[in-house]
Amino acid sequence: MIKELIFKDKRLSYKVEGRGEVLVLLHGFMEDLNMWNHFSVELAKKYTVLSIDLPGHGNSDNFSDAHTMPFVAKMVKDVLDQENIAKCVLVGHSMGGYVSLAFARLFPKMLHGLGLFHSHALSDSAEAKENRDRTIKLVEQKKSSFINSFIPSLFAPENQTKYKEQINHQIAIANAMSPKGITSALAGMKERASGLDVLTEARFPVLFILGKHDNRVLLENGIAQASLANTAQINILGDSAHMGWLEDQHKCVSIIRGFVGLSLDVASQK
C-alpha cells in the first residue's frame, strides 16, 4: 500500500507490504522505492516490508538545498512513528546506507539490525567533496549527460550489456528527477559525518553486502569496516559491482532474508 507522510506541506511517499516483524529498505542515489519490488514480493511473505522514496526521489518532494543524512534519517523515524513501529531491521543501498548509519546514530534503540548494501561508513575525503561540487555544477548544466554516463558505470563491465534494459530503466528514473532533487542529495552526502563509531558501538548485528567489482565501495574497505562491529555478517557478490540488487538479485534477497532472521534471533536473546 502506498502511503504519505506530510511534513511542512510537503510529501514523503512510502510503501508498506506484508505482516510481521519490520524490515525497512532505503534506496540509493537517483533510485526510488521500486528498486525493492522483487525483494518486497519475497520478503513480505514473512515480514512487514516498508520502503521509502527518500526526499527528492520518486514521488517524494524536495525539502531543502541539502538533504543531509541526519535530516533524512529523522524523516525515516517520522514514517516509523506514523506507522507505530518501535523496532526494525534497516537496510540501505549506497546513499540509503549513509542514511541508515545516521539513523543508527540517532535512534540505536529502534534497531534490531543494520544493513549496508554496497555502502560504507567513511565520510567524504577532501577530494570526494570537490568531486561532489563538480557533479552538482554538471547536473545543473547537463543533467542527462551526467545520468547517461553515471548509471552504467555502477555495473560490472560484463553486466552492462546483460542488463542493458534495466540500465535504461534506471536512467529513465533518474532523468525523471528534478536537478534540485539530485543536487540536494549530493550536497547532503558531501556533508555526512563518519559512521565508524556507529559500527564500533552497535549493539545489533551489522550486514555488509559487497561487490567484488565495485569501484565505489572497495572490498578491502568494507571488510575492514565490518571488523569494527561486535556482530557482523559479510557477503561478497562475485559477479557484481555496485548494483547487486539487480546484478545478483536472487542471492541478495536470500542474504537479506537470512540477516533479518539473524537480527531477530540476536534480539530475542537479550
Q: Within 13 Å and on the Cβ side, how many CA atoms surround 80? A: 23
Q: What is the pLDDT of residue 51?
A: 99
Q: What is the pLDDT of residue 128?
A: 97
Question: Which H or E element spans position 236?
Answer: strand 232-237
Judged against a pLDDT cut of 80, whether residue 114 lies above it is answered with yes
When pLDDT is cut at 50, 70 and 90, the band that residue 143 belongs to is very high
Identify the domain containing residue 94 by its residue range: 2-268
β-partners of residue 234 are 208
Q: What is the pLDDT of residues 187-245, one digit of tens each?
A: 999 999 999 999 999 999 999 999 999 999 999 999 999 999 999 999 999 999 999 99
Judged against a pLDDT cut of 90, whether residue 4 lies above it is answered with yes
Q: Which domain CATH number covers 18?
A: 3.40.50.1820
CB 142, CB 149: distance < 8 Å: no
How many independent structural domains does the chain possess? 1
Of 10, 34, 270, residue with least CA distance to 166: 34
- How much of the chain exceeds pLDDT 70, in percent? 100
Q: How far apart are CA 227 and CA 213, in angstroms?
A: 21
- What integer best gives the mean pLDDT of the chain? 98
Q: For cell 565508524, what's the residue?
A: 196
Q: What is the pLDDT of residue 218?
A: 96
Judged against a pLDDT cut of 80, whether residue 246 lies above it is answered with yes
Question: Which H or E element spans position 237?
Answer: strand 232-237
Give me the mean pLDDT over the 25-36 stretch.
99
Q: What is the pLDDT of residues 34-74, one digit of tens each?
A: 999 999 999 999 999 999 999 999 999 999 999 999 999 99
Burial of 84 by CB count in 10 Å (0-12 exposed, 13-18 middle, 19+ buried)?
A: exposed
When pLDDT is cut at 50, 70 and 90, the band that residue 8 belongs to is confident
Q: How far apart are CA 57 and CA 185, in angstroms?
A: 9
Judged against a pLDDT cut of 80, whether residue 110 lies above it is answered with yes
* pTM for the model: 0.98
Judged against a pLDDT cut of 80, whether residue 252 lies above it is answered with yes
Q: How far apart are CA 229 and CA 233, in angstroms?
A: 9
When pLDDT is cut at 50, 70 and 90, the band that residue 270 belongs to is confident
Q: What is the pLDDT of residue 168?
A: 98
Report which DSSP code applies to 60.
Answer: P
CB 239, CB 156: distance < 8 Å: yes
Q: How far apart are CA 170 and CA 167, in angstroms?
A: 5
